[in-house]
Structure 1
């Protein structure tokens, strides 16, 4: 199968449209009022590893202690120290979030409080649902993780939570940073990040570019990427406007990992792949966003948001079929497909404060329209006669034909969900100590699913419906340092899952209870404790023709997150989660745990700034460990993935070399070279393998 790649010229149209948009049309109503907050500044307060505010839970900057939900933030300092380069890296610092089926390493996929897949819509970019395969890039400033119910503000969403990647914005202070890295496995990256004002026009720009070419750690393959991301901001007395665009041309190995035999890893060289050199993904991912804010009064502002993201890519897969444990023969067949996944979003919010009978109401009113379109074009399924066995102990490559035979029944699958919603949220300050949170969302949706070529074309699903999603919460601020909270919500997710045979499923419905505490143990050090209980019905598990609705499932547990400064020059991140999952109503697997959801996870990271003479520069060292408990490989509990513990470390040196801030940093991951298996597709023939010990040397100069 030939890789599909659209032309570069056709992809630049969105950027040109945004950048050439006449600003005068948007600024005509500018008035003389006291200056407002500049949109280019981050809507958070951060001190090292501690964050005090976030925007995901209320679509505006709110103190974390005022929210009746658990929100964790992976701060810019954390990202810099540990050289976070993916959402998998970022989730090391958040309790209760682990890797799920990544589709051969090509997708962001996470289990949150026991629930999650690679297509559940729980990853957002700047508050907009993303259809992109990978969502953390050089443009990412921080990551906010909203635990528990999120359907109130984000619609069709699991009650386990969401991950919101927040982008870097233009700044009004001139700064240019050139960075590069070298990877221990071979290759590296080079990037540029420049921002600043455009004269006295009121505009500020930012341009982020990156070129990456890194060898894959297994015996063949490479990760390649060309990233170009311009953005523009204008901020006036009453009006502000931000335009941004990101273009990412990428390729990566499609690696199904290894095989388990009788519940244990087969005796196969850890670093040798069992597929072919042509097994990879290639594509172009794009996103664009426009945000226009207008200050209606001292207490109210309006915000219009338009967002679009699109991922056009092709997959070629050496699909595992069977394994002969006696002979070591591993049978494979060539499969593949072309994909075109798109999200279009537009929303209008009104955010403000209102005093009613002497009590303050922090209000959010909004209306939004969203299209989520997942399209699989030509789908290749090579027949049995084109299968090939490979010896797992002495693999010989090149004998399996690339996917080339088009399947008429499985091609051209369109899975389209269109929804229009209205919602409101009221943080009602009853007095100085109590906040009552009330909210609701009415969502009308149309769902259309069809697949097949020509006479094989079949409409599998075509319906419209509506739902009402309530939310209620309560916050008690016992002191400046301590707040207690609780919430109740329901969730609703139209199922977009379709088996290869064309079977569809009814919507998922669920409810969630949560109570917790947020406590500042000392200035700069925050503790978050959450206890939750979730029940969902009609949950789809598995993949391909093995999908099934598991009936009624439950998840309950406790999460602890501790982050911030524990002493002068010492910072800490510590997490722990206990998650008990269970299939509550299933004819075959009742009583079993949900697949890939460990009961115990935890992490501990410490960072120290060394007390050395200023003439020697600034030295910062850190490291830590994370633990993932044993997991069931599938809902039938037919095999399990062992627990594992990994250790990471870094050292960074900063010095004003020739008057420019210069840094040199070494990061070591998986220091003890542990072999581990982070996730699976639900089959013993598809178990992913974790990276061995790797090193990354990074350098940057700021002008």
Structure 2
């Protein structure tokens, strides 16, 4: 009841707060200015020009301009899309450490798992590929384990809907674009030291200085963290990010950045079994036992190690004050090493009156070597007749290589008795008696210890004979791999090369009262899959069944063409009221074939229609109300495929196919306001109705399940209020109050088989995250200091992230952080 009332309050607040703002005088034409007046330029600060948004024009959380929609500095009111900007002041006030901390204040974004997995407007995340990945300075960063750092991030922009023309494949629901901190050629230092109630200490530094006045500038961002995470396991992180800006001549600029990230933590697979569709308690012999769903089912030796190296370079040349050229380069070399004992809650049974969950131990090595480059010609405010153009003409190139080697034990699975319709283990604790398996864990009493595999009870699985090179993709780089591992599960190299050509033009006319946007993108994609070391029967202990497949080599080509169209009309000369419309398209190849050896799946395509109205009152109120309609076709789906064989007999098989698609439509209200000099408020409300056009079938009844797409809330609210006392006896004191609420959702359905127990789709409770903060700003001499305290998930809700009908993964409990900021 508490969560429902809190969610209702948050929903009402999204509508009441804008209406409750004091009426502001002077709304006549000519009194409304979209950007804040630019301050006088300092001789000390290096001005970066047409491509970069100047944050000194921001007022509180209100950012009047954005760069992600056009790759140039453009007023948000002139952009024919719904775009939300989170600037540096916002991120510092909420003490953001991850992308999720920031973007969940956009009500169209919902978290899936940890590690920057999101859905937007009902699309993407684990639910269906293509929500839109994280981009850094316009380049997509590799997904997978490990979150992208915010240490060197200046601002985060969330661009709604498909954006393939500027951002390439995917991005059906939207794009999250991060912009790095650039050297400004001034002396400035900011530091933050923080400590959580779990015992995790974090120190962050941002310092910059000119080397040669107006010519050469340096900036360094760094972070170091050590201690215990909220799960009670050791956690260690550090980030090093130096940047250099060189004005070679008055017309030539070079920017170079490097980011090195290291993280050691335990994994995100905090999964618990659903029993009779209730994850919070188990009924045994008519007695209800509450379950500590935040208990970790892994062992003390478990760890995930994440290393990432990012290089970014940009060269700019100014031909004239209106025509520019820039060449950009980005490389990302990431390696993740996972050593972990994971629970698999789809294999769950009650034995001798006790609940057990199956587990397996794995070592998973992944390497990403991604290289990207772009060359762009930009024309800013170039006139042709009565039209004024902002044009980007570009060429892009990518070479992405992913190596993956996963070795793991077999599942310790229960067996199903069809006569009694019950599950059981012969002996759930036979960790030392059967090769290649580890024991199941008792959900009520498991105490983490050492990884059972290290005890010597498991027999090694070594590839021999003609397939002895099965490890060579990664093992040659790490000679310690391969001598004592349980078995091969995945061994593959995937290489993707693409070349793209794109064009985008934002045209204005009628004295900048009307804007028309048009863009095209053509991509030539080649993907090579080289797979080896796949076990035929992964559940068998028989030597005959544990053989390795021959090498599989597959080449895939794709040549998509996507477009974007947009229209903006300012109803008033001062741009207070604006109408806009867009029609954007996107794509994403389906690289899989229909199981077992059917035709290749058709590529996913997405098309959006969006329209809305924007209201701007100076630097006081920015509101956007939008309606969208997105169709994503050829969405892949794993599960039971029902078909009629050549003899007319109904059959079923587990495999991959595509459904007709997802259809998502709804409306969004987002607002960013400064109701008074002291009060800042940002947030919004989203209504999202996303359905499967071809819903999955219940594997028992073979009847269609609910058409609503799983893990998509119908209603969502996000809001952050910050009140800062700028005068009086409490000058320097400030408070923040934030709410992130998502309506109840339907879990992803895993079809019942003789290997997976039957559970109906799970109705996921509403997601409620209440964040509270307080700070006090003061000076010691010329040094500015801020003492902060922040409480996340203040009501200690059980918030579900990944959710299936047989298992659920939970978000962090209540956490308190204290910090001290210093700047000079």
- Normalising by structure 2, report the TM-score: 0.76
Residues 558 and 457 of structure 1, relative CA distance in 2, 3 Å threshold: farther
Q: Indicate if the aligned counterparts of 2:200 and 2:229 stay in contact, CA closer than 8 A.
A: no
- Per the alignment, residue 552 of structure 2 pairs with 459
Counterparts of 1:415 and 1:361 in 2: how far apart (Å)? 40
Secondary structure at the aligned position of 1:567 is classed as coil
Match of 2:588 among 472, 476, 493: 493
Secondary structure at the aligned position of 2:102 is classed as helix
State the shift of 1:683 in Å: 5.2
Counterparts of 2:655 and 2:341 in 1: how far apart (Å)? 19
Match of 1:130 among 138, 141, 154: 141
Q: Indicate if the aligned counterparts of 1:125 and 1:135 stay in contact, CA closer than 8 A.
A: no
Superposed, 1:447-596 pairs within 5 Å as 447-453=527-533, 456-459=549-552, 461-479=554-572, 480-496=575-591, 505-521=601-617, 523-541=619-637, 548-586=657-695, 588=697, 589=704, 592-596=707-711
- Per the alignment, residue 632 of structure 1 pairs with 746
What is the CA deviation profile of residues 356-377 of structure 1, one whole-angstrom value per residue up to 9, with x for unaligned ones?
Answer: 1222121110011112332212
What is the CA deviation profile of residues 603-642 of structure 1, one whole-angstrom value per residue up to 9, with x for unaligned ones?
Answer: 222111125447x651111112221111111157711211
Secondary structure at the aligned position of 2:123 is classed as coil
Residues 332 and 548 of structure 1, relative CA distance in 2, 3 Å threshold: farther
User: Is residue 59 of structure 1 aligned with residue 182 of structure 2?
Assistant: no
Q: Greater CA deviation, 370-379 or 645-654? A: 370-379
Q: Indicate if the aligned counterparts of 1:183 and 1:214 stay in contact, CA closer than 8 A.
A: no
Match of 1:659 among 782, 789, 814: 782
User: Is residue 437 of structure 1 aligned with residue 517 of structure 2?
Assistant: yes
State the shift of 1:547 in Å: 5.5
Counterparts of 1:176 and 1:452 in 2: how far apart (Å)? 51
User: Is residue 684 of structure 1 aligned with residue 806 of structure 2?
Assistant: yes
Match of 2:83 among 56, 68, 71: 71
Secondary structure at the aligned position of 1:136 is classed as coil
User: Is residue 607 of structure 1 aligned with residue 722 of structure 2?
Assistant: yes
- Per the alignment, residue 371 of structure 2 pairs with 344
Secondary structure at the aligned position of 1:65 is classed as helix
- Per the alignment, residue 672 of structure 1 pairs with 795
State the shift of 1:223 in Å: 2.5
Residues 391 and 409 of structure 1, relative CA distance in 2, 3 Å threshold: closer
Counterparts of 1:276 and 1:68 in 2: how far apart (Å)? 51
Counterparts of 1:500 and 1:458 in 2: how far apart (Å)? 18
State the shift of 1:73 in Å: 0.8
Secondary structure at the aligned position of 1:261 is classed as coil
Q: Indicate if the aligned counterparts of 1:254 and 1:316 stay in contact, CA closer than 8 A.
A: no
Q: Indicate if the aligned counterparts of 1:262 and 1:639 stay in contact, CA closer than 8 A.
A: no
- Per the alignment, residue 298 of structure 2 pairs with 275
Secondary structure at the aligned position of 2:801 is classed as coil
User: Is residue 416 of structure 1 aligned with residue 416 of structure 2?
Assistant: no
- Per the alignment, residue 14 of structure 1 pairs with none
Superposed, 1:24-103 pairs within 5 Å as 37-38=48-49, 42-44=53-55, 45-100=57-112, 102=113
Match of 2:333 among 302, 310, 315: 310
- Per the alignment, residue 30 of structure 1 pairs with none
User: Is residue 643 of structure 1 aligned with residue 766 of structure 2?
Assistant: yes
State the shift of 1:408 in Å: 7.0
What is the CA deviation profile of residues 281-331 of structure 1, one whole-angstrom value per residue up to 9, with x for unaligned ones?
Answer: 102111110011100112100010001112101123433341125521111
What is the CA deviation profile of residues 107-165 of structure 1, one whole-angstrom value per residue up to 9, with x for unaligned ones?
Answer: 21000111112675621111100015311331122111110011011111232111112
Secondary structure at the aligned position of 2:77 is classed as helix
Counterparts of 1:500 and 1:451 in 2: how far apart (Å)? 16
- Per the alignment, residue 4 of structure 1 pairs with none
Counterparts of 2:805 and 2:246 in 1: how far apart (Å)? 52
Secondary structure at the aligned position of 2:796 is classed as coil
Q: Indicate if the aligned counterparts of 2:47 and 2:184 stay in contact, CA closer than 8 A.
A: no
Counterparts of 1:510 and 1:201 in 2: how far apart (Å)? 46
State the shift of 1:439 in Å: 0.9
User: Is residue 358 of structure 1 aligned with residue 386 of structure 2?
Assistant: yes
Counterparts of 1:200 and 1:663 in 2: how far apart (Å)? 30
Query: May I ask how many residue pairs the two structures share in their alignment?
Result: 661
Secondary structure at the aligned position of 2:104 is classed as helix
Match of 1:260 among 274, 279, 286: 274
State the shift of 1:459 in Å: 3.0
Residues 38 and 441 of structure 1, relative CA distance in 2, 3 Å threshold: closer
Counterparts of 2:190 and 2:531 in 1: how far apart (Å)? 48
Structure exhibiting the larger radius of gyration computed from Cα positions: 2
Secondary structure at the aligned position of 2:710 is classed as coil
- Per the alignment, residue 108 of structure 1 pairs with 116
State the shift of 1:383 in Å: 5.7
Residues 612 and 95 of structure 1, relative CA distance in 2, 3 Å threshold: same
Q: Indicate if the aligned counterparts of 2:662 and 2:691 stay in contact, CA closer than 8 A.
A: yes
- Normalising by structure 1, report the TM-score: 0.88
Secondary structure at the aligned position of 2:165 is classed as helix
What is the CA deviation profile of residues 165-217 of structure 1, one whole-angstrom value per residue up to 9, with x for unaligned ones?
Answer: 21111121101223210111112111222101003471100111211114122
- Per the alignment, residue 28 of structure 1 pairs with none
Counterparts of 2:656 and 2:439 in 1: how far apart (Å)? 26
Residues 42 and 488 of structure 1, relative CA distance in 2, 3 Å threshold: closer
Q: Indicate if the aligned counterparts of 1:179 and 1:701 stay in contact, CA closer than 8 A.
A: yes
Secondary structure at the aligned position of 1:538 is classed as strand
What is the CA deviation profile of residues 44-64 of structure 1, one whole-angstrom value per residue up to 9, with x for unaligned ones?
Answer: 542111111111111111111
- Per the alignment, residue 313 of structure 2 pairs with 290
Counterparts of 1:640 and 1:214 in 2: how far apart (Å)? 36
State the shift of 1:581 in Å: 0.8
Residues 512 and 112 of structure 1, relative CA distance in 2, 3 Å threshold: same
Runs of 5+ in structure 1 lacking a partner? 1-34
Secondary structure at the aligned position of 2:392 is classed as strand
- Per the alignment, residue 733 of structure 2 pairs with 619
Counterparts of 1:532 and 1:213 in 2: how far apart (Å)? 44
Counterparts of 2:74 and 2:199 in 1: how far apart (Å)? 44
User: Is residue 377 of structure 1 aligned with residue 405 of structure 2?
Assistant: yes
Residues 373 and 483 of structure 1, relative CA distance in 2, 3 Å threshold: farther
Secondary structure at the aligned position of 1:328 is classed as strand
- Per the alignment, residue 712 of structure 2 pairs with 597
Counterparts of 1:629 and 1:683 in 2: how far apart (Å)? 18
Q: RMSD across aligned C-alpha pairs, in angstroms?
A: 2.6
Counterparts of 1:314 and 1:547 in 2: how far apart (Å)? 28
Superposed, 1:177-196 pairs within 5 Å as 177-196=190-209
Q: Greater CA deviation, 224-233 or 355-364? A: 355-364
Secondary structure at the aligned position of 2:452 is classed as coil
- Per the alignment, residue 13 of structure 2 pairs with none
Q: Indicate if the aligned counterparts of 2:161 and 2:172 stay in contact, CA closer than 8 A.
A: yes
Q: Indicate if the aligned counterparts of 1:408 and 1:456 stay in contact, CA closer than 8 A.
A: no
Residues 123 and 499 of structure 1, relative CA distance in 2, 3 Å threshold: farther
Residues 289 and 510 of structure 1, relative CA distance in 2, 3 Å threshold: same
Secondary structure at the aligned position of 2:354 is classed as coil
State the shift of 1:402 in Å: 4.0
Q: Indicate if the aligned counterparts of 1:409 and 1:456 stay in contact, CA closer than 8 A.
A: no
